[in-house]
Amino acid sequence: MSSLIFLGVIAVAAFYLIGLYNHLISVKHAVAKAWANIDVLLKQRHDELPKLVEVCKQYKQFEQETLQRVIEARSQVQSARQNQDISALGHAEGMLRAGLGNIFAVAEAYPELKANENFMQLQSRITSLENSIADRRELYNDSVNINNVQIELFPASIIANMFNFEAKPLLEFSTEEKSDVDMKQLFN
């Protein structure tokens, strides 16, 4: 009888540990899925930005420096995205979002550009993608937070250490992106 109780306790413990392991796998894959969702949106926006730059270039007097900053930031975002470098992505995203904000603000001074149907469609599409990226970043950070908490909780931390589950970095934003936009500077 005591050996049956012992075997029962061992079986319950084994099922519990298997459940913990499966839970950690599920959480890990939720982080990967959240990253994949961001990656798809970043790729879509990456494909739209050259079109926006080309439309703006049609207006010779449009600020070339602003366009150049967007092109450089786009390249940095692409590189960070491909390398899955979350910290570099956060910084590059801040630069890109600031550049896009400048393009849209400067476009206000160009009524012909603002009235251009292609520009309006691209502006709408990119704004929509920006909103979707912001939503997905929130989901990604929530998934990362759950992952990081789960691998630290006892007794899941034992399983996490045994099978090399790792903490994931949050997608954080640069100081520039968090600060208020200096509207006066945009229109100088």
- The number of CA neighbours under 13 Å toward the Cβ of 167 is 9
Report the pLDDT value the prediction gives residue 183, as an integer from 0 to 100.
Answer: 42
| Tokens coding 33 | 């899925």
Q: What is the mean pLDDT of the chain?
A: 86
Q: Where are the domains of the chain?
A: 2-186
Task: List pLDDT tens digits, range 12-32.
Answer: 999 999 999 999 999 999 999
The yes or no reply on domain 2-186 and CATH 3.90.1070.10 is no
Q: How far is CA 76 from CA 44, 157, 178, in A?
A: 15, 36, 19
Phi, psi of 62 (to 5 degrees): -60, 145
The DSSP-derived string for 99-133 is HHHHHHHHHTT-HHHHH-HHHHHHHHHHHHHHHHH
- pLDDT band at 144, cuts 50/70/90? very high
What global pTM score does this model have? 0.77
Res. 145: pLDDT tops 60? yes
Task: List pLDDT tens digits, range 49-86.
Answer: 888 888 887 776 677 788 888 889 999 999 998 888 88
